[in-house]
Structure 1
């Protein structure tokens, strides 16, 4: 396994609605555990409804272009 960095490897979102009415709200970040068998989550908010989606984090330059 490669050395773990301080930069989170995943972003966490709460997703509500469907289709054109879908709303994604950034709620935190996640890293793989050192043994690679789990994840450490750091949440800024906890959704009361909807679902949580974990996506690979992109460099800030790629996020700005999206």
Structure 2
């Protein structure tokens, strides 16, 4: 039996950050709140979305991390 668990000691970086976006008031931009991260599985068949908070409207936006994050 093969063990497919990752035994590497270094932490993986997230492929995406998860945000909820609240619409801005008239003439203002939306307000982005980071609520989690998405990590790809080693087999390339999906990944895990780790949420630290839940969006009120159920909408989650995934964006690639920027270098300064």
Q: Which has the higher strand share?
A: 1
The count of corresponding residues between Structure 1 and Structure 2 is 57
Q: Unpaired segments of 5 or more residues in structure 2?
A: 1-10
Q: Unpaired segments of 5 or more residues in structure 1?
A: none
In the TM superposition, 1:42-61 aligns within 5 A as: 42-49=50-57, 51-60=59-68
Pick from 19, 23, 32 the counterpart of residue 17 of structure 1.
23
Q: For residue 55 of structure 2, give the secondary structure of its aligned residue in structure 1.
A: coil
1:34, CA displacement in angstroms?
1.4
Two-structure CA RMSD over aligned residues (Å): 2.0
Please report the TM-score for the alignment, with normalisation by the length of structure 1: 0.69
- In our comparison, the structure showing a higher alpha carbon Rg is 2
The CA distance in 2 between the partners of 1:6 and 1:51, in whole Å, is 25
Q: Which has the higher helix share?
A: 1
Divergent runs of 4+, >4 A: none
